[in-house]
A and B are shown apart, each in its own frame.
Chain A
Amino acid sequence: MEAGTAEVVRSKTVSVTVNGTTYEREVDARRLLIHFLRDDLDLTGSHVGCDTGNCGACSVILDGTLIKSCMMLAVQADGATIETVEGLAEGEELTELQKSFSAHHALQCGYCTPGMLMSATALLRSNAHPTEAEIRKAIQGNICRCTGYVNIVEAIKSVGETS
């Protein structure tokens, strides 16, 4: 685009690649990315918890960076590559992290789990053997009201120790 020519629009066609599939959709500028994922693309794995940017249930990885998709507009994601919880498992084969969550009973109601998994996935990519302190810092933006976090931390730590 030529500098000096950006248009002001109320809606636009965005192209995003989510879990390897490229989608093109017309979207209102006011639409949050989380609603675009859940309602337009029917990818309901990412959850809406607080809708105020605190709980982290909507966490996704966008262009390699962990973000909360309730604090971003869908139009801002035009051209981006997004990973959601649906993209973790290969078919029926869960990731080591997902298996570890199961083995360590790291979820009860499961509402926070998609966000927790994305935060822990992002952590383990940049730091394959995190300490407990690093794990706790990494999931600070993800709130769980069931587990007390102990089993979640254990599950993440276990993957780091066995990888």
Chain B
Amino acid sequence: MLLREVEYARPASVRDAVRLLSEHDGARALAGGQTLINVMKSRAASPDVLVDLQDLAELKAIDLAADGTLTVGSMVTYTELVESVEARARPILGDVCATIADVQVRNRGTIGGNVCSNDPTNHLPPLMVALGATMTIVGTDGERDVPAEDFFIGVYMTAAGAGELVTKIVIPAGKGDGFAAVTIGKDGTCIVSAAASLDGGAPRIAIGCVDAVPVRVEVSSTAADAVREAVRAANLDPPGDVHASSGYRRHLAEVLAARAVEQAEQRRN
């Protein structure tokens, strides 16, 4: 398909990427392009300048600290995360990334692109909220860290504003994690997803596809009945569409939250 005319730059440093993003109105970062190129075809997005991040080696690192903290550069692809020895420190990451779309998409799509596009059906936003991840955002004024819970602010919108770039995602140590989703076809788009983590005190549950951003659900017990009751008490009002009615999504949210917590318990033990 012929895209609308667009300008292109391929910076060699994060500083230059941020300069380009901030100097040009309508500039957007181009990571793996597995979402952006397609929404440009449909004209759902029409950036004026694409800032290609592929040469920024510092965004491609995966580091495991002595305390188990994992730092994943925003340009790390799903495949790199699946194959990374370091990333096995938090096994749920690779396990979920291995179920995103298909080989070709996993080879190009990036963890930063997934969270920054913040499509409500994406796998990683609820997972990042459940894991207690923190996004590092760089702009012309410097660098700041934003917890995942505050990072996702609306459909396709995040705390990373115009002229800013997510450079890395920091994920604390842990292994008691679970993820469950009902998808359109195997490894397809999520209809509802739920992520859970039992590390760091009370269970952290985040549900995807039921609102503009992942919904945190508070629960003190890991018993399935308690989890389902907590999801019911959240009074979700998910959208209905051809794939699932609002009521069915509400039902799935309960079931999948319980499954995610059950999986998290199994992995922890």
Contact = CB atoms under 8 A, between A and B. Distances in A.
Given A9-B7, A71-B37, A72-B33, A141 B20 contact: no
A93 B54 CA distance: 37
B52 to A, nearest CB: 6
Nearest to B187: A140
Interface residues of A, number: 40
B32 to A, nearest CB: 8
A84 interface: no
A6 B33 contact: no
Given A5-B16, A9-B9, A10-B7, A66 B103 contact: yes
Interface in B17-32: 19-20, 24, 30
A73 interface: yes
B104 A56 contact: yes
A71 to B, nearest CB: 5
Nearest to A72: B33
A30 B107 contact: no
Interface string A137-149: 1101110000000
A128 interface: no
A109 interface: no
Contacts of B37: 32, 53, 70-73
A100 interface: no
A107 interface: no
Contact of B7 (A4, A8, A66): A8
A71 B38 contact: yes
A53 B103 contact: no
A73 B33 contact: yes
B68 interface: no
A7 B9 contact: yes
Contacts of A131: none
B3 A6 contact: no
B5 A30 contact: yes
B108 A52 contact: no
Contact of A65 (B20, B38, B107): B107
B10 A6 contact: yes
B3 A68 contact: no
Contact of A28 (B5, B12, B38): B5
A72 B108 contact: yes
B41 A6 contact: no
Contacts of B15: 3-4
Given A30-B4, A32-B1, A76-B33, A67 B50 contact: no
A52 B41 contact: yes
B7 A53 contact: no
B103 A10 contact: no
A67 B38 contact: no
Given A67-B107, A76-B54, A4 B16 contact: yes
A29 B33 contact: no
Interface of B: 1-13, 15-16, 19-20, 24, 30, 33-34, 37-38, 41, 49-50, 52, 54, 79, 101-105, 107-108, 186-187
The 9 closest A-B pairs by CB, nearest first: A141-B102, A29-B8, A3-B13, A30-B3, A6-B11, A140-B102, A68-B104, A8-B9, A141-B104
